[in-house]
């Protein structure tokens, strides 16, 4: 059993042989071994229907003759396929489940998809996920987040189930995650606090890293490109091309400790920036070891170090100088260093019970020259976060599964922007899943305790209920209801910053945000090798935290909004019965209403429409992606009225087309992969945030090899 992509052995594939012999139905099967081989013995003479299935590959079906006195040798190649109705996910219930058994909406980004798009940062890949869009670096799942000026996140970022939000501002740093070691990314939509606690208000992003290392391998990737000059002469602030480039090297090999393996990678990226003063220089070092201990235990330990020097572009000067910053931010820069060390220990005690221990330390340090001389130090923050979790999974009966656990987090912040503070949190959770014939019911809840120094502590209980009804043939209907919450970050509570001509001042009276999410939906396989995933949803929010101007003309984070977001989403995928073409399309509509002001919520686009086509034949491949993002209707109007953001009302719907073409010579024995990528093919001008032009057309050449 071999992969048609690289002729590697496929272990664990299900092999079934069926026929009618002497008037009786005959059926037998087996699994392929670690070297891809399989065998079936004592088979009567006759003609059989052979089927082979494996998650991640298209099902193989053929007619074979068997039962002769000598062994029949078969060489079967399985074709990789991103269309997987029986895909396995772990984020929804903190354990492995078929996607059709999950009571909430989920999307999965595979490692193959990351490789096809040659993404540099995880955020690049998330922009193509149904229902997901960015307002600059702030991720929105079905309009949950809007824009909060880089402080706080209503979407929880995990790496192998471990939270990865900074201790001071509570934000996700997408660039610090090594793309080369990602197995897949799971996107859970809707409130997830019943299992994950604070910040899972609008959803969860879980980055699953690779596990096993079977052979020595080294891969090298290099890329380079440039931005197109703008069409309008008044926007052409530089007479020189603006370049970007990067390189990475990754090495993996088994080591002599059972079946342990090690992986290490080093990458460097730089970007001159298509906007003046919007450059970056970035270096990332990642190392990991993972393997099994004996027959029932496993251990994964990984660490990452990330350093970045970048310019700061807050708002444009005006629409006639859209690629140049306002005078008060010209020359500003930020330097940051982030490092994390994490470990995951799993012990399968019996066939009914296992437990997992997760622990991590996350260090975050940054400083800038805002409000100081060009060479001096302005705002600075140093935070350390420790995290520990115990999780147990008990198969109480063939139809009942219990998931339970406890976790805790401790943060130390030393900052001239947020003052020196300590925060801590703890939680316990329990979830029960019961199967009754074709119905699966999930009920659970989590109790959280949160405390920030100088503020009163608070407690929060978040329950959830989910139902999945399997109709058959891969079709499943689902319904869920659950609550979410987000504790305000230290940054939101105690921020004291001068930025962009405005002052941000503390508000120690901030309360936690809360949400209630409801959804009904279903998955339906298509007869032409695909599936449809659809949902209708509603999320209610209380005490939403938004940056607002106070009576003194200063910005402070306040609990100002009671809101409701309603909508629907449909996501369709198909490979059209071919082994060379994959088609995907999704449409998301939301109605994001501020029930306090009876206005549309800020920075929410009502419509998202994404279409992609991937072609691969022999050594050649090509793809095209199109994204439509409707114009956001509401924004920080006071920033425009006060003249802080000139022409800030200028915004349009976004129509973005990205194309890629390349060759992969590995199938003919040459370890070389070359791609040419053009993003924003038609050089369409749009903004994701007022006063901030989105990337212009840019060209990128990517060359990679492995040996």
Beta strands per DSSP E along 453-512: 458-472, 475-486, 497-499, 502-504
pLDDT at 538: 96
CB-based contacts of 206: which residues, under 8 Å, 6+ apart? 90, 91, 158, 159, 160, 161, 185, 186, 188
Mean per-residue pLDDT, 631-652:
91
Helix H or strand E encompassing 641: helix 637-641
pLDDT at 26 over 70: no
pLDDT at 22: 47
pLDDT at 38: 76
Torsion of CA 119, 331, 305, 169, to 10 degrees: -90
User: For tokens 């109007």, what's the residue?
Assistant: 637
pLDDT band at 649 (very low <50, low <70, confident <90, very high): very high
Residue of 131, 135, 158 lying closest to 145 (CA atoms): 135
Name the residue with higher pLDDT: 206 or 71. 206
pLDDT band at 84 (very low <50, low <70, confident <90, very high): very low
pLDDT at 305: 96
pLDDT at 23: 45
| Structural tokens at position 694 | 């989105």
pLDDT at 172 over 80: yes
pLDDT at 158: 93
CA distances from 131 to 82, 112, 118, 173, 396 (A): 19, 21, 22, 20, 36
pLDDT band at 526 (very low <50, low <70, confident <90, very high): confident
Phi-psi region of 217 (alpha: psi -120 to 50; beta: other; left: phi over 0): beta
pLDDT at 374 over 60: no
pLDDT at 611: 96
pLDDT at 58: 63
pLDDT at 71 over 60: no
Rounded CA separation 658/494 (Å): 41
Name the residue with higher pLDDT: 42 or 113. 113
pLDDT at 56 over 60: no
CA distances from 572 to 407, 451, 524, 531, 537 (A): 37, 44, 10, 6, 18
What are the respective helix, strand and coil percentages of the chain, to the nearest 5? Answer: 5, 55, 35
Mean per-residue pLDDT, 681-692:
94
pLDDT band at 242 (very low <50, low <70, confident <90, very high): very high
| Structural tokens at position 99 | 């996607």
Note the helical H segments in 3-110.
none
Torsion of CA 258, 261, 262, 263, to 10 degrees: -170
Residue of 332, 309, 636, 380 lying closest to 500 (CA atoms): 332
Rounded CA separation 493/512 (Å): 11
Rounded CA separation 193/482 (Å): 8
pLDDT at 618: 86
- Set out the domains of the chain in order of their start, with CATH numbers: 2-78 (2.60.40.10), 88-706 (2.40.170.20)
Q: What backbone torsions phi and psi does residue 101 show, to the nearest 5 degrees? A: -95, 0
Rounded CA separation 192/539 (Å): 12
Helix, coil or strand: residue 194: helix
The DSSP 8-state label assigned to residue 691 in this structure reads T
pTM listed for this prediction: 0.85
- Tell the burial category of 419 from Cβ atoms under 10 Å away from its Cβ (0-12, 13-18, 19+): middle
pLDDT band at 481 (very low <50, low <70, confident <90, very high): very high
User: Is beta strand 155-159 parallel, antiparallel or unpaired with respect to 203-209?
Assistant: parallel
pLDDT at 83: 43
Torsion sign (Cα): 100, 102, 105, 111: negative
pLDDT at 287: 95
Residue of 514, 492, 513 lying closest to 504 (CA atoms): 492
Mean per-residue pLDDT, 313-319:
92
Which among 21-35, 145-159, 302-316, 369-383 has the top mean pLDDT?
302-316
Mean per-residue pLDDT, 346-370:
92
pLDDT mean across residues, the chain:
87
Rounded CA separation 448/37 (Å): 50
pLDDT at 454 over 50: yes
């Amino acid at each position: 059993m071999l992969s048609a992509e690289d002729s590697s052995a496929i272990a664990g594939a299900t092999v079934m042989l069926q026929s009618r012999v002497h008037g009786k139905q005959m059926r037998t099967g087996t699994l392929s071994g670690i070297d891809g081989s399989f065998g079936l013995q004592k088979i009567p003479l006759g003609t059989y229907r052979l089927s082979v299935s494996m998650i991640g590959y298209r099902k193989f079906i053929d007619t074979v003759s068997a039962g002769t006195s000598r062994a029949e040798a078969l060489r079967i190649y399985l074709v990789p396929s991103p269309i997987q109705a029986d895909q396995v996910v772990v984020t929804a219930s903190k354990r492995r489940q078929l996607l059709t058994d999950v009571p909430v909406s989920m999307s999965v980004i595979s490692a193959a998809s990351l490789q096809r798009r040659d993404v540099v940062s995880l955020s690049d890949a998330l922009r193509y996920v149904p229902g997901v869009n960015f307002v600059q670096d702030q991720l929105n799942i079905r309009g949950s987040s809007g824009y909060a000026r880089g402080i706080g996140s209503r979407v929880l970022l995990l790496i192998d189930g471990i939270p990865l939000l900074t201790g001071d501002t509570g934000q996700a740093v997408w660039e610090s995650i090594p793309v080369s070691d990602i197995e897949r990314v799971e996107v859970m939509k809707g409130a997830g606090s019943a299992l994950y606690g604070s910040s899972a208000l609008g959803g969860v992003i879980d980055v699953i890293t690779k596990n096993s290392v079977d052979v020595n391998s080294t891969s090298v990737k290099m890329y380079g490109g440039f931005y197109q000059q703008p069409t309008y002469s008044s926007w052409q602030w530089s007479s020189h091309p603006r370049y970007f480039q990067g390189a990475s090297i990754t090495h993996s090999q088994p080591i002599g400790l059972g079946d342990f393996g090690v992986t290490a990678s080093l990458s460097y990226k730089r970007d001159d920036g298509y906007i003046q003063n919007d450059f970056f220089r970035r270096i990332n070092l990642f190392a990991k070891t993972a393997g099994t201990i004996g027959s029932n235990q496993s251990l994964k330990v990984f660490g990452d170090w990330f350093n970045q020097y970048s310019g700061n572009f807050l708002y444009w000067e005006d629409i006639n100088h859209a690629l140049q910053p306002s005078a008060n931010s010209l020359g500003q820069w930020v330097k940051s260093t982030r490092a994390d060390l994490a470990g995951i220990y799993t012990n399968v005690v019996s066939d009914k019970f296992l437990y997992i221990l997760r622990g991590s330390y996350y260090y975050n340090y940054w400083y800038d020259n805002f409000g100081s001389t060009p060479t001096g130090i302005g705002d600075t923050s140093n935070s350390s976060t420790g995290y520990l979790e115990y999780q147990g999974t008990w198969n109480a009966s063939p139809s009942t599964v219990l998931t339970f656990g406890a976790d805790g987090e401790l943060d130390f912040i030393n900052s001239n922007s947020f003052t020196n503070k300590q925060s801590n949190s703890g939680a316990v959770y329990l979830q029960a899943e019961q199967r009754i014939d074709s119905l699966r019911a999930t009920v659970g809840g989590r109790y959280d305790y949160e405390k920030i120094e100088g503020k009163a502590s608070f407690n929060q209980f978040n329950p959830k209920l989910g139902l999945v009804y399997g109709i058959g043939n891969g079709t499943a209907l689902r319904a869920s209801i659950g609550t979410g919450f987000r504790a305000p970050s230290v940054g939101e509570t105690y921020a004291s910053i001068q930025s962009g001509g405005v002052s941000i001042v503390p508000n120690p009276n901030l309360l936690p945000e809360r949400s209630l999410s409801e959804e009904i939906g279903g998955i339906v396989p298509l007869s032409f090798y695909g599936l449809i995933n659809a949902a209708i949803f509603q999320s209610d929010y209380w005490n939403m935290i938004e940056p607002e101007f106070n009576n003194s003309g200063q910005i402070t984070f306040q609990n100002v909004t009671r809101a409701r977001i309603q909508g629907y989403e449909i996501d369709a995928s198909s490979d059209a019965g071919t082994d060379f073409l994959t088609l995907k399309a999704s449409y998301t509509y939301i109605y994001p209403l501020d029930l306090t002001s009876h206005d549309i919520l800020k920075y929410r686009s009502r419509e998202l429409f994404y279409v992609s086509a991937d072609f691969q034949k022999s050594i050649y491949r090509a793809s095209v992606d199109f994204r439509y993002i409707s114009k956001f209707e509401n924004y920080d109007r006071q920033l425009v009225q006060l003249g802080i953001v000139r022409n800030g009302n200028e915004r349009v719907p976004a129509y973005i087309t990205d194309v890629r073409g390349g060759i992969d010579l590995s199938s003919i024995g040459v370890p070389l992969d070359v791609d040419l990528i053009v993003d924003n093919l038609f050089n369409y001008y749009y903004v994701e945030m007022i006063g901030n032009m989105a990337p212009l057309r840019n060209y990128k050449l990517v060359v990679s090899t492995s040996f």
